[in-house]
Amino acid sequence: MSLALFCPSKPADAVDVQQVAPGVWRLRFGNPEPLTPIHFRSAEPAVEAMKSLPAAKDLPIALKQISFSVRPRGCTLELPMTRGERIYGLGLNTTFFEMSGKRAFIVPGDQPENEANVSHAPEPFYVSSDGFGVFVDTARFASFYTGNVDPTSKPPGADSAGNEAASAGGVEDLYRARELRKRTMLIDVPTAQGVDVYLFSGPAMMDVVRRYNLFSGGGCVPPMWGLGMAYRGLNKFTADDSLKLAQSFRDDHIPCDIWGLEPGWQTHAYSCSFVWNRKAFPDPDGFVRQMGVMGYRLNLWEHCFTHPTSPIYEALAPYSGNYRVWSGLVPDFAMPEARKIFLGLHEKEVFSKGISGVKLDECDYQPFRSTNVWSFPEPSQFPSGMDGEQMHSMLGVLYQQTMKEPFDQRNLRTWGLVRNSQALASPLPYTVYSDSYDHRSYVRGVAKSGFQGLLWTPEVRNAESVEEFYRRTQTVIFTPFALINSWFLRMPPWMQVDREKNNAGQVMADHAEVTAAVKKLFEVRMSLVPYLYSAFNEYHLHGTPPNRALVMDWPEDPNVAAIDDQFMCGPSIMVAPMFTGQTHRSVYLPKGTWYDFWTGEKYEGGRRIDIGKPAEIGPVFVKGDTLLPLAAPTERFADNTCYDITVRVYGDHPSAAALFEDDGVSNDFQQGKQNRIDLTWAEGKGSEVRTGSYAGPARYRIVGWDRVASKAIK
Ligand code: GAL
């Protein structure tokens, strides 16, 4: 091994530093690899929007405090950490929330409930409670040792004892050096002989995240129908099965916008042919048309591994990796040729038929099991020059980008699902989902998604009990993709929650009550569509994540630092899900006034309260001094949908709120074809002001202002 490659750890003040966007600095160490998340970015930074964020003039970390070294195994970075510094982000692992004191692997996997930080969306980006963000631009399986390593050499900028500024004296000082040494952020980037690190300035964590999302290009805006309810039928459903069940939803007025077809629509699914199975779907065009007449948007399941019977197999082979998965080719989506061939077949079978979105399955990996390791190995080679490790990091993002192209060409928005994502993904209109199913972990996933430009659905499938089914539904309706994923259930879970009994056709005795209760929850979701649409427009315009942990909104409150069983939904709603077996739970209400969403009861915050709710509803709170626009629930979004809005008025001096009005389906809003309806309340009276140049059918009619009288002060 050549010793010439060894380069001792050294301060990084010789490093190339560039301010690349307002409040964002790129630090170039050594010779970075070319094929990284920045290289494959989905959109250019939204620089104009970034200008309006508060930003420090200087780097959030002094260069002399950062060290970098290159060795045969790759490169390492050391960043300082302060004593109380907390770390958020680094992917969508659902076991951990705050990430300091750990080794966080940035490795994709299909089981996010684990202690190795494996997740569907490993992300080399973190937000520090000290008010800055760090993005390491790598497609390598990096590790972040978040404050638990103890280097023997003195960190740059420290004195001989390792203290930044040791003071002689008290007993505390005896231990000071040890504590400080433990607070080094060590980042291991294997293979690479250099790396670009992007520092994001605060001052607050919310500013960091907004800046990161805008730097990524700004958050996606779903089509309005994407915010409705989504149902996925049994994997084996035929066209008739889907049509029948879909019609029964309409007959029973069960809200549903998106209908998902699982593997059975194809002639071969593991791996995929991308060709309709004509036995189950004799007339795909007719089927799509009939579903459209009923007002459904179709979403098709697939993964990218291309089966030998697929008509594109031969053509795709030269643009694929040198290992197959389930006998299927792994297309190299970094090659335009691969995208073109792949999309050519999809154009014919999928997009030209009017499919509205896709579910991109299996693009993660299962690296740490001793049995049943699946997907391609890390030493794989791809024609673009990527190896298997890099491709595993980028596959989800490249696949999402590829499948978005046909919609961009049609000037249509899409709304899809994906099982792998990575950095800079906020502009991509896909929500991450999982086969894992622990409800508590799912809620943590919702809270975590907001740190890093990701969307997460705690999808509902079967349940051990009706109570569990309610509790899960109460969570999912406050997240981006309100998904009932019945891919292994013949009947909807509200007819029978138990998987075996469901498939044996045994309807629950109380199914009528359960259906009525679930329908009410779906209607709550539908009443929130305009509010959520505003939250997503804020995501797009200002980078504010629609779902987030409380610590982002109340960074100064030490009580929220570790709260991961409550989350924010939009600017003013806080959800505190209950879990099976709980008859009541402790909820932390941050400082200020809060109102119970269901009863209007008023609470003073800055404390914990104990709250109980019947199984049919979960604890949801609205921030005081809020204008909350709620729609009369529709069953689905249609081109001519106009929501009847009642604005709930919480408190005497509510802040203004805005509704965003546009065609709901195209990208014209990005060219300014959008109205903003500003809602304000003064002197006991509400008013609305509409501005903008959207001239299509009105989306909103304000039918009332409802002062929420506080029913009780607690
Ligand atoms: C899984 C996926 C499920 C379902 C299933 C169908 O991999 O996560 O949601 O789509 O495949 O085979």
**Atom 9 (ligand 1) nearest CA:** 435
* CA atoms of 178 and 162, how far apart (whole Å): 8
Pair 36, 137: CB distance under 8 Å: yes
Q: What integer is the mean pLDDT of 607-629?
A: 97
Give the per-residue pLDDT at 179: 52
156 or 314, which is more confident?
314
Burial of 622 per CB tally in 10 Å (0-12, 13-18, 19+): buried
* CA atoms of 262 and 300, how far apart (whole Å): 7
Mutate which of 231, 234, 265, 361 for ligand 1? The one with the most ligand atoms within 8 Å of its CB, which is 361
> Cα of 486 to ligand 1 centre, how many Å?
10
Three-state SS letters, 355-390: CCEEEECCCCCCCCCCCCCCCCCCCCECCCCCEHHH
> Cα of 361 to ligand 1 centre, how many Å?
7
Mutate which of 265, 456, 487, 489 for ligand 1? The one with the most ligand atoms within 8 Å of its CB, which is 487
Give the per-residue pLDDT at 166: 46
Pair 78, 553: CB distance under 8 Å: no
The token pair that represents 335 in the structure block: 């090659």
- Is pTM beyond 0.85? Reply is yes
> Cα of 15 to ligand 1 centre, how many Å?
46
Pair 252, 522: CB distance under 8 Å: no
> Cα of 187 to ligand 1 centre, how many Å?
34
Pair 583, 467: CB distance under 8 Å: no
Which atom of ligand 1 is nearest the CA belonging to 270? Answer: 12
Which atom of ligand 1 is nearest the CA belonging to 362? Answer: 7
**pLDDT tens-place string over residues 426-462:** 999 999 999 999 999 999 999 999 999 999 999 999 9
* CA atoms of 535 and 543, how far apart (whole Å): 10
**pLDDT tens-place string over residues 170-214:** 666 655 555 555 589 999 999 999 999 999 999 999 999 999 999
The alpha-helical segments, DSSP class H, found in 554-704 are: none
Give the per-residue pLDDT at 57: 84
Q: What integer is the mean pLDDT of 205-224?
A: 98
Which atom of ligand 1 is nearest the CA belonging to 359? Answer: 10
Query: If you write DSSP's letter for every residue of 10-47 in order, what string do you get?
Result: EE-TTSEEEEEETTEEEEEEEE--SSSTTTT-SS---H
Q: What integer is the mean pLDDT of 354-383?
A: 93
In terms of phi and psi (left: phi > 0; alpha: psi -120 to 50; beta: otherwise), the region of 664 is left
**pLDDT tens-place string over residues 322-344:** 999 999 999 999 999 999 999 99
* CA atoms of 230 and 420, how far apart (whole Å): 20
**Atom 5 (ligand 1) nearest CA:** 487
* CA atoms of 554 and 607, how far apart (whole Å): 13
> Cα of 236 to ligand 1 centre, how many Å?
12
Pair 411, 668: CB distance under 8 Å: yes
Which amino acid type is present at position 464?
Answer: E
Give the per-residue pLDDT at 405: 98
Which atom of ligand 1 is nearest the CA belonging to 485? Answer: 9
**Atom 4 (ligand 1) nearest CA:** 487
Is pLDDT at 500 greater than 60 in this prediction?
A: yes
Nearest to 230, CA basis, from 491, 485, 570, 527: 485
**Atom 11 (ligand 1) nearest CA:** 361
**Atom 10 (ligand 1) nearest CA:** 262
Is pLDDT at 397 greater than 80 in this prediction?
A: yes
* CA atoms of 142 and 74, how far apart (whole Å): 10
Beta strands in 503-583 (DSSP E): 547-548, 567-569, 573-575
Q: How far apart are the first and last CA of the chain?
A: 70
Q: How many CB atoms lie within 10 A of CB 634?
A: 18
> Cα of 212 to ligand 1 centre, how many Å?
31
Give the per-residue pLDDT at 6: 38
> Cα of 296 to ligand 1 centre, how many Å?
21
Nearest to 553, CA basis, from 527, 580, 591, 520: 591
Q: Which residues line ligand 1 (CB under 6 A)?
A: 235, 262-263, 301, 361-362, 435, 485, 487
Is pLDDT at 4 greater than 60 in this prediction?
A: no
> Cα of 302 to ligand 1 centre, how many Å?
9
Q: Is 616 helix (H, G, I), strand (E, B) or coil?
A: coil
Mutate which of 232, 261, 301, 362 for ligand 1? The one with the most ligand atoms within 8 Å of its CB, which is 301
**Atom 12 (ligand 1) nearest CA:** 263
Is pLDDT at 422 greater than 90 in this prediction?
A: yes
